[in-house]
Amino acid sequence: MTTVDSRTRDDNVYGEDVSEIYDLLYQRRGKDYAKEAAVVAGLIRDRAPHAATLLDVACGTGEHLKSLRAMFEHVEGVELSDAMRERARAKLPGVAVHPGDIRDFDLGRSFDAVCSLYGTVGYMAGTEELDAAIGSMAGHVAPGGVLIVEPWYFRDGFTDGHIGHDVVRDEHRVVARVARSVRVGDTVEVRAHYLVGDGDGVRHFEHVQVMSLFSREEYAAAFRRAGLDVTCLEETGDMLAGRSLFLGVRR
């Protein structure tokens, strides 16, 4: 059995075990990356019709960027995990996908729009790290530009002890995932067990993620401290599968 333990934030990245099944798992669960990218692009253009350049921070395997690069003149990505970053680069020839930590990356240039999707900011260990992450992203937003961040669960909307499960397959593999989330204060440990069956047999590994629960005001305050006018777009079917988004505009 392999254990991928993400208890510490510096090590909280996806290794090869998870990255190789990541796309299969989420696409077969019904995650519509193209639709989500269109929602994000529409929100950006509503606030910044001139937007031509976009940076996707914590871009994972690059599925959102695959659609976003058709909607903007120039796109780039940032990803901490070596395994995920290499998969993104393989999908996106000609698109720069930089190594970097959301809390302190510096590309030395700005973009008309910056986004970070799928709750990556939930990995931040407290409001100081949240401020650092929002500040790093905001520092790459050009004047009049837009920052869009998808939060993880809010402090008042999390179900302790939740057990999630999935079984997905393609022509080569079957993947089963069972995960249990346990809350201690404002920290949540998500412990997931995976079974992967393919031509080489069946293997098991475990992936542990440590997440933080922030309030809406803590997210909004981080945007304001970074010099952005912020709006919380609450859970609605028009957002990403009914989830919230925070949208900041550079003053």
Cβ pair 16, 84 in contact under 8 A: no
pLDDT tens figures, 45-54 = 999 999 999 9
| CA separation for the pair 31, 24 (Å, rounded) | 10
pLDDT tens figures, 10-30 = 444 566 788 889 999 988 888
| CA separation for the pair 196, 177 (Å, rounded) | 9
List the structure tokens of 46: 């509503």
- Whether residue 136 is predicted with pLDDT greater than 70 in this model: the reply is yes
Cβ pair 144, 250 in contact under 8 A: yes
Q: What is the pLDDT of residue 135?
A: 98
Q: What is the pLDDT of residue 7?
A: 37
> pTM score > 0.85 for this model?
yes
List the structure tokens of 110: 């700005």
pLDDT tens figures, 168-203 = 999 999 999 999 999 999 999 999 999 999 999 999
Rounding to the nearest 10 degrees, give the CA dihedral for residues 38, 44, 46, 48.
-140
What letter represents residue 107's amino acid? Answer: L
What average pLDDT does the chain have? Answer: 91
| CA separation for the pair 105, 56 (Å, rounded) | 12
